[in-house]
Each structure stands twice: as structure tokens, then as C-alpha cells.
Amino acid sequence: MRMEFPPCCPDGRVTNLCADRVYRQRVEGYIKLSGPWTGWRIQGDALIGPGGVRFKATTLLHAWRQAQSAN
């Protein structure tokens, strides 16, 4: 995937924390969550918990359906 670099990196080099965060979000699909979600992150196609447990969309969908059918 080719990324358009932000104005803070006109020469195409990741030189600061902000640019690094944008690069990781767009290229690696890495998003660090905060607030009540501190310790959790999204990386690629998975939601990863503080202990390293990985949830994929299909896993969460099955868990949601199971919870709904239990009610």
C-alpha cells in the first residue's frame, strides 16, 4: 500500500511521533486505544486485549450471537 505522507514529512521519511502514529495506522493497521480501552489495541484484523488475547471479527460475531440467543 502506498501512503501519502503528511505535510510534517514532506521528504517521505517518518521523523516524528505524529507521523509514526499515522504511518502505523494506515500501513500496519495498528491503533492503540485509550480511556476505558487503555491497554487494548487494533492491529490488522484483530482486537487485542492487554493480556495478548486476540479477537477477530468472526469470533466477536459468534460471541454476540451466542449472548443474544441466551437471552
The answer to whether residue 52 sits within a structural domain is yes
Please give the Cα distance from 13 to 40 (Å, whole number).
Answer: 28
Phi, psi of 54 (to 5 degrees): -110, 135
The answer to whether residue 33 sits within a structural domain is yes
For residue 41, the cross-strand partners are: 32, 48
Number of domains in the chain: 1
The answer to whether residue 22 sits within a structural domain is yes
The answer to whether residue 5 sits within a structural domain is no
Q: pLDDT, tens digit, for every residue of 46-71?
A: 999 999 999 999 999 999 999 999 87
Q: Whole domain around residue 45: which residue ranges?
A: 17-70
Q: Is the pLDDT of residue 8 over 80?
A: no
- Does the pTM surpass 0.85? The reply is no
Q: Is the pLDDT of residue 4 over 80?
A: no
Q: Is the pLDDT of residue 6 over 70?
A: no
